[in-house]
Amino acid sequence: MIQVHCGDITQLHIDVIVNAANNCLLGGGGVDGAIHRAAGPEFLEACRALKGCETGDAKITLGYKLSVCYVIHTVGLIWAGGTKGEAGLLESCYRRCFEVALENDARGIVFPCISTGVYGFPKAQAAKISVRVMHEFEQQFDSIIACCFSQDDAQCYKILLNV
Ligand code: APR
């Protein structure tokens, strides 16, 4: 079942939350900053041990001070007009997060709107890609949630999901 939630991803209680990270995995602004602030110093050390992550890929840590089992860190891409393979890389982010969650027996996962903040990916286009991959994995999860930080973002998902 795919749901839309509007709010702070760090406040949710579920198996996995996804972090929209950067290649070094050592924190940043936006949702990355919020997750690092909430998860605490041990979380940063666990991220350091991962030694980075390729764009479009995903890696996992425990949730530490967050009320989740795991955080899956994925690295989106900086929007460059849509002709540099951005859609494929964003799709890869979502797909790799689902694959890593399944490898760790997680069946509940929450995604932020990856790449649509600092990285500038157009929200409606990103939501289409996200929902398409969510439907691909829907039967393998008990709960899939798109966590939006604004009503505008949430509206993109609600239209696509008819909710
Ligand atoms: N909970 C849920 N969503 C959030 C939160 C939060 N606490 N804070 C921000 N967001 C939303 C943003 O509003 C946006 O819709 O997460 C989405 C992704 O935006 P960013 O966090 O800016 O991520 P992204 O666009 O993927 O850029 C990643 O930004 O923070 C740095 O280190 C990060 O370099 C990386 C880049």
User: Residue 154 belongs to a domain with what CATH number?
Assistant: 3.40.220.10
Mean pLDDT score of the chain: 98
Cβ(22)–Cβ(50) below 8 Å: no
**Can you give the residue range of the structural domain that contains 8?**
2-161
Strand partners, 70: 16, 62
Number of H helices, E strands in the chain: 5, 6
Domain count for the chain: 1
CA 127–ligand 1 middle distance (angstroms): 14
pTM: 0.98
- Res. 1 pLDDT band, cuts 50 70 90: confident
Catalytic residue chosen out of the listed positions 8, 15, 32, 152: 32
CA 36–ligand 1 middle distance (angstroms): 12
153 given a catalytic annotation: no
CA distance 61 to 45: 10
- Residues 119-131 have pLDDT tens digits of 999 999 999 999 9
- Residues 72-112 have pLDDT tens digits of 999 999 999 999 999 999 999 999 999 999 999 999 999 99
